[in-house]
Amino acid sequence: MKRLRLVLLAGVFVVLPVVSGACGDDNTAHDTLPPIVTTTTTTTILQTTTTYPDFYVLQSGDTLGKVAQLFGTTSAELQAINGIKDPNKVQAGQTIKLPPAPSTTVAVVTTTPGASTTTGG
């Protein structure tokens, strides 16, 4: 479609053609849009490693109950693996053996990167 526009410049009329249009024409219209590429992100939760000692040196104020709670065990288990008959007869500076580290399950979630396409309608 052509239009004419009149422009006034210092008392002189000038006729400029103006062309309007759009991308493509009506004869090439399609029912769908081109695909839109989308991506997904990857999330990895890393497992942390904690060093669990084999032995512990009792500190002033320690009891077998406090040490057991600190290392996720029981005072009865500490007594058993250390041959302690009376839990009240432990003292600061004494080295005691700890049971093996308690087993824990840690969930590790991993998503795989990928691409998908979506078409508009």
Per-residue pLDDT tens for 45-85?
777 777 788 999 999 999 999 999 999 999 999 999 999 99
- Closest to 82 (Cα-Cα) out of 65, 64, 70: 64
Q: Against a cut of 0.85, is the pTM above it?
A: no
Provide the pLDDT confidence category of residue 100 given band limits of 50, 70 and 90.
confident
Map out the domains of the chain with their CATH numbers: 55-97 (3.10.350.10)
Return the structure tokens found at 113.
């990167």
How do residues 8-28 score in pLDDT, each as one tens digit? 555 555 566 666 655 655 566
